[in-house]
A = this chain, B = another copy of it.
Amino acid sequence: MTELRQDPTTRNWVIVAPERSLRPRDGAGNDARRASGGCPFCPGNESMTPPETWRLPAGDRGWRIRVVPNKFPVLTPTDRPERRGSPGFLAMGGHGHHEVVIESPSHAWDIATGDEAEVRDVLRALRSRYRALSHQSDIAVIVIFRNHGPGSGTSLAHPHSQIVAAPVVPPFVRRRFEVARRHFDDFGTCLYVEVVERELAEGHRVVMKGGSVVAFQPFAASAAFETWLMPSSHQASFGDADDEVLDELAAVLRTVLLGLCRAMDDPPYNLVIHSAPPGEEGCRYFNWHLQIVPRVSTPAGFELGTGVSVNPSHPESTAAILREAIASV
């Protein structure tokens, strides 16, 4: 049982999830990357996770990818989404879904060093679950994310991504859509397509291009080596990406992460897939995209008080370093 509570001063939501403090931790450090008998995501330990919602089978009763509900979910389908409480103390049950995509049976597998076909399968698994969850009732937004390495906030080292389907669109997410919608209303164009086109035209911050997928470090990158991967033509929802785009995305993602691994000595990072909310897939002003943020500095009071990040490097410089690292791969 979790609860969503609204901060009356920002109208942002917080998830109160007391059971999360019970999560097992293996430290998620590099040392922990060796297969460990107690890893709930390793083959043979399938009974340690809740029952699968999806599987990519392999061989006789084996698997290449498993999707399971998170054992310590921030949101659960059985909690009810009705609002309760009085103005200023608005709350609702933590209704939603929180799934874990176990990306490989191998404890030491990683996107950066895996086969391209394996990365492709991971992206297809994510898309498959994205599509399934977007049809669930009372779901307003779906976010896919991946925490890699010590310092990234992950509690388990075994390679996995996560999907959260939530019953409200948080103001932070809504704002992106509002900015893009205003741009569309003013100029009649998709802001995200324009951003990609401008980045390609300027060139300094482009890391690589693979088919229709462009990797670049944004003009206002919030952290050193922050990198975005985006289709260059308009597509609002990650659920609508076709196989061809996902294949291109797999190739670019693998290469960019391998480049980051080389350039920064396998940094911890958070990866997020931003997508138009269910019901707004048809909107003409948003592009789904992947955001990779290496966790190399610690946000402090300034960031907490202002929401403004301090990037200790120019994205033009770090993009050049990343291009070089990729060229030498």
Interface residues of A (CB under 8 A from B): 5-18, 20-21, 74, 88-89, 141, 143-147, 151-154, 162, 164, 166, 170-173, 175-176, 179-180, 191-192, 194-195, 198, 202, 218-222, 270-274, 291, 293, 297-315
Q: Are A311 and B17 in contact (CB under 8 A)?
A: yes
Given contacts A15-B308, A21-B313, contact A220 B141 (CB under 8 A): no
What are 30 A-B contacts with C-beta separation under 8 Å?
Answer: A7-B218, A9-B191, A10-B175, A10-B179, A12-B220, A14-B221, A14-B222, A15-B308, A17-B310, A18-B312, A21-B313, A74-B302, A74-B310, A88-B194, A88-B219, A89-B219, A145-B300, A145-B301, A146-B301, A151-B298, A152-B300, A166-B306, A170-B308, A172-B308, A270-B301, A270-B304, A272-B304, A272-B305, A291-B305, A293-B304
Given contacts A175-B171, A194-B88, contact A220 B14 (CB under 8 A): yes
Residues of B within 8 Å of A170, CB to CB, are 306-308
Given contacts A6-B220, A8-B179, A12-B307, 14 further A-B contacts (CB under 8 A): A9-B176, A12-B220, A14-B308, A14-B311, A17-B311, A88-B191, A88-B195, A153-B300, A154-B300, A172-B308, A173-B306, A173-B307, A270-B300, A291-B304
Q: Are A220 and B18 in contact (CB under 8 A)?
A: no
Bound CA span A16–B309, Å: 9
Minimum CB–CB distance from A293 to chain B (whole Å) comes to 6
Question: What is the predominant secondary structure among interface residues of chain A facing chain B?
Answer: mixed
Q: Are A301 and B162 in contact (CB under 8 A)?
A: yes
Q: Which residue of B lies closest to A11 (CB)?
A: B179
Bound CA span A199–B133, Å: 37
- Contacting A7 at CB < 8 Å: which of B153, B194, B202, B220? B220
Minimum CB–CB distance from A140 to chain B (whole Å) comes to 11
Q: Are A310 and B8 in contact (CB under 8 A)?
A: no
Residues of B within 8 Å of A151, CB to CB, are 298
Q: Are A153 and B307 in contact (CB under 8 A)?
A: no
Given contacts A21-B313, A306-B170, contact A147 B10 (CB under 8 A): no
This chain's copy number in the assembly: 2
Residues of B within 8 Å of A10, CB to CB, are 175-176, 179
Q: Are B314 and A147 in contact (CB under 8 A)?
A: no
Residues of B within 8 Å of A198, CB to CB, are 88-89
Q: Are A311 and B9 in contact (CB under 8 A)?
A: no
Bound CA span A89–B10, Å: 28
Q: Which residue of B lies closest to A296 (CB)?
A: B21
Bound CA span A144–B304, Å: 11
Q: Are B12 and A311 in contact (CB under 8 A)?
A: no
Q: Are B272 and A309 in contact (CB under 8 A)?
A: no
Residues of B within 8 Å of A12, CB to CB, are 220, 307-308
Given contacts A13-B220, A18-B314, contact A153 B270 (CB under 8 A): no
Q: Which residue of B lies closest to A89 (CB)?
A: B219
Residues of B within 8 Å of A313, CB to CB, are 16, 18, 21
- Across the A-B interface, give the 4 residue pairs with the lowest CB-CB distance, nearest first: A172-B307, A153-B300, A145-B301, A272-B305
- Contacting A145 at CB < 8 Å: which of B162, B271, B305? B305
